[in-house]
Structure 1
């Protein structure tokens, strides 16, 4: 390993190892996001697809397939499918959340309009379904189409659970499995399926993706309250947007009557005043909600690592374990 490679983060090293496959995925994405009749489609899509994302989800598909000894070309189509599904959900999410920035850049709905974002998102979903049928593998089609449905279901569940302090940790986990983990687990699972691996290996790949996705989202929710320069997040964004994430759910479960009144005012009623974030942080720390959330993220990360350790030692296996370690590095 060169000095430059040794300094790379795990997902960057994975991208280096998968460089040829990733180039093929990116070329296919550019080809399939084109439109002869609607130039707005490639304009909007390119703004988000080429915004410098990590391409983590499609890399998981490529890595899982290669880990399982696959030497065909269909994993490229499936990786592009995964990225199209992810990009479509981002376009829709930014409209629902009325977001103004994504990856440090203005969102598509801000640069164009909500109608364009929604319709281009629909176009990308349609492209994803075209791509996922091309390998001619019914099991792959079932996995990815089920994931698309689960993602939509998770987003609707999140919408109905938002600002509802009766939301339990079980419901939170259901939301996370829908909006985040479903695509992670589908991405890794189809890699094993396309390689024709035994059910036990395919299940291990699913378990890895599922646990990684859950840990990924819990860490993201935790960092909203931990923040700091290293995270790139502003402390309290979720609080200001009244998002009911795991730290807050844990704190509310231990709250006394006065504390519950505070949470109802700032989250359910949206009556937030100066100093409320500091009060919220005090309550989260007082009841150990942040530490309990951190422990939960570490537990899911351990499950992901255990699933991957069932595979024989290899560079790709170690890199996938490294990606998992990187996800929780900032809270471990």
Structure 2
């Protein structure tokens, strides 16, 4: 089933694109990539081999781009943000390495997950290495405020992942609890990535908070769409196994909505499925059909559009221009994408 593409209304009716953000941050990303390459090196060959497998494996690099775009938005002309964007990417990459071990994932960005190739112990330890490198970069920046923001986000991410783990296979997980989880495990790093740009530029508290709100709401929107995609896209488009969330018993919003709206018979199916007793391909097809019959994916994407609009609204205090428009389009793209 192809993914629905639901764009936010645009004045020029053009489809949302990440290209303006890519263009805005291209020069900065070259600098960031140089730092990434230098800082993932080690005398232990397995470390750069495993880290490079994931870092070079594609991905939108949206989180470090938020730091670079935020710096452009506020007119920062220094270079401190390059190391901080690298720290953001290392934190994200470390969490992916750990997540794939926890989830037992086979695919990541369309390739074999690192844990499948290198094993679980190596993936965990190299994830720890990247976390350590991220903290080295934060300390080198020399700002206690930056260190507090990024280290705080790292702790919140870990809490969110543990919260998600404890909610796994619990059919009574509420929408409120689900949003609490994704605000921690995804949105916290988006917010921190955007916020540190204002800190290094010595912006006002109002501007700093605006970038935080932009990143936080964008992160929620992004994760909502990711969770919708698991039920309305295919493995080739997603770069991971279709139905992973379903088989792992994750209570994401499409399932929460379908369960809430279902008949007694449908709820009995969901209870068995989330408990791990109905996980065949036929069961997945039935789950997708139920989700479709209750408009659960469409409504998940509608909620994502709400948060994306909140992200866009947070930018209203900044002058209009190339940077702001690129960040607006990034928010629009985050909810219109099908992969």
Quote the Cα distance in structure 2 between the aligned partners of 1:41 and 1:139.
30
Quote the Cα distance in structure 1 between the aligned partners of 2:25 and 2:295.
41
Q: Cα offset for 1:199?
A: 0.7
Quote the Cα distance in structure 1 between the aligned partners of 2:237 and 2:310.
24
Deviation readout 1:41-94 (Å, 9 max, x if unpaired): 111111111112222111110110121111111100100000110111111111
Q: Is residue 174 from structure 1 mapped to residue 170 from structure 2 by the alignment?
A: no
Larger mean CA deviation between 266-275 and 212-221 belongs to 266-275
Contact 1:11/1:56 (<8 A) preserved: no
SS at match of 2:141: coil
- Gaps spanning 5+ residues in structure 2: where? 1-13
Residue 246 of structure 1: aligned partner: 253
Q: Cα offset for 1:244?
A: 1.3
Larger mean CA deviation between 276-285 and 185-194 belongs to 276-285
Residue 146 of structure 2: aligned partner: 140
Residue 6 of structure 2: aligned partner: none
Quote the Cα distance in structure 1 between the aligned partners of 2:265 and 2:125.
46
Residue 109 of structure 1: aligned partner: 115
Contact 1:242/1:270 (<8 A) preserved: no
SS at match of 1:309: helix
Question: Are the structure 2 counterparts of residues 42 and 306 from structure 1 closer, same or farther at C-alpha, using a change threshold of 3 Å?
Answer: same
Q: Is residue 207 from structure 1 mapped to residue 213 from structure 2 by the alignment?
A: yes
Question: Are the structure 2 counterparts of residues 66 and 139 from structure 1 closer, same or farther at C-alpha, using a change threshold of 3 Å?
Answer: same
Quote the Cα distance in structure 1 between the aligned partners of 2:298 and 2:16.
25
Q: Cα offset for 1:274?
A: 6.1
Residue 23 of structure 1: aligned partner: 30
Quote the Cα distance in structure 2 between the aligned partners of 1:321 and 1:169.
27
Residue 264 of structure 1: aligned partner: 271
Q: Is residue 50 from structure 1 mapped to residue 56 from structure 2 by the alignment?
A: yes
Residue 284 of structure 1: aligned partner: 291
Q: Is residue 304 from structure 1 mapped to residue 308 from structure 2 by the alignment?
A: no
Listed as ranges, the matches of 1:9-158 within 5 Å are: 10-36=17-43, 38-158=44-164
Q: Cα offset for 1:107?
A: 1.6
TM-score, with length taken from structure 2: 0.90
Contact 2:218/2:331 (<8 A) preserved: yes
Q: Cα offset for 1:19?
A: 2.2
Q: Cα offset for 1:105?
A: 1.3
Residue 218 of structure 1: aligned partner: 224
Q: Cα offset for 1:140?
A: 0.8
Q: Cα offset for 1:26?
A: 0.8
Q: Is residue 328 from structure 1 mapped to residue 335 from structure 2 by the alignment?
A: yes
Residue 4 of structure 1: aligned partner: none
Question: Are the structure 2 counterparts of residues 149 and 330 from structure 1 closer, same or farther at C-alpha, using a change threshold of 3 Å?
Answer: same
- Gaps spanning 5+ residues in structure 1: where? 1-6
Higher relative contact order (CA closer than 8 Å, sequence separation 6+): 2
Contact 2:71/2:197 (<8 A) preserved: yes
TM-score, with length taken from structure 1: 0.92
Q: Cα offset for 1:10?
A: 3.6
SS at match of 2:75: coil
Residue 3 of structure 1: aligned partner: none
Q: Cα offset for 1:20?
A: 2.1
Contact 2:24/2:326 (<8 A) preserved: no
RMSD of the alignment, in Å? 2.1
Quote the Cα distance in structure 2 between the aligned partners of 1:213 and 1:275.
32
Deviation readout 1:124-169 (Å, 9 max, x if unpaired): 1011001011121111111000000011111111111011011111
